[in-house]
Amino acid sequence: MNVQLALYKGKGNIGNAGIRWWTASVYSHCELVVDGWCYSSSVRDNGVRRKRINLDSGKWDLMTLPWANSVDIEHYFAATDPNRYGWASLITSQLFNRNSPVKGVQFCSEWCAAAAGIPNASSYSPGSLAKLCEWLNRTPNNSSF
């Protein structure tokens, strides 16, 4: 099964605008997509969750991740499903640039990076994760990090 990174570029709310401004990116949220299911950690849904999202609304960019393993993502979801949204991790890692994950909580790009097997997952915003994934897609032998 293929894996995609879905990147939210819609207007959203003031939180979305703040993330776009802080990270100097058009993206304010991300999801991993496997077999039509979207996996992430969402402030709207209070943490890690799986749900169907209309990705054809014009508010999302999709990027295939040929190096990502769908089974690993589903296993990671099962292991982290009870996790709450990672405000503490978001603040320490993104606002203070400390790359300090907090056990039991994750923000969207942190969850997506970790589920895809990318090290230092808490250091990525949706925009920086998109750039890394674009680079990985162009890099030969990118199956290991």
Q: Where are the extended beta strands (E) located within 9-113? A: 29-34, 37-42, 47-51, 60-64, 84-85, 105-106
Q: pLDDT for 111-140, tens place per residue?
A: 999 999 999 999 999 999 999 999 999 987
> What number is the average pLDDT over the span 75-102?
81
| 81 HSE (CA, 13 A, CB side) | 9
Q: Are strands 29-34 and 105-106 parallel, antiparallel or unpaired?
A: unpaired
Q: How many domains is the chain partitioned into structurally?
A: 1
Domain residues for 7? 3-138
Residue 145 within a domain: no
Residue 17 within a domain: yes
Secondary structure (3-state) at 36: coil
pTM: 0.90
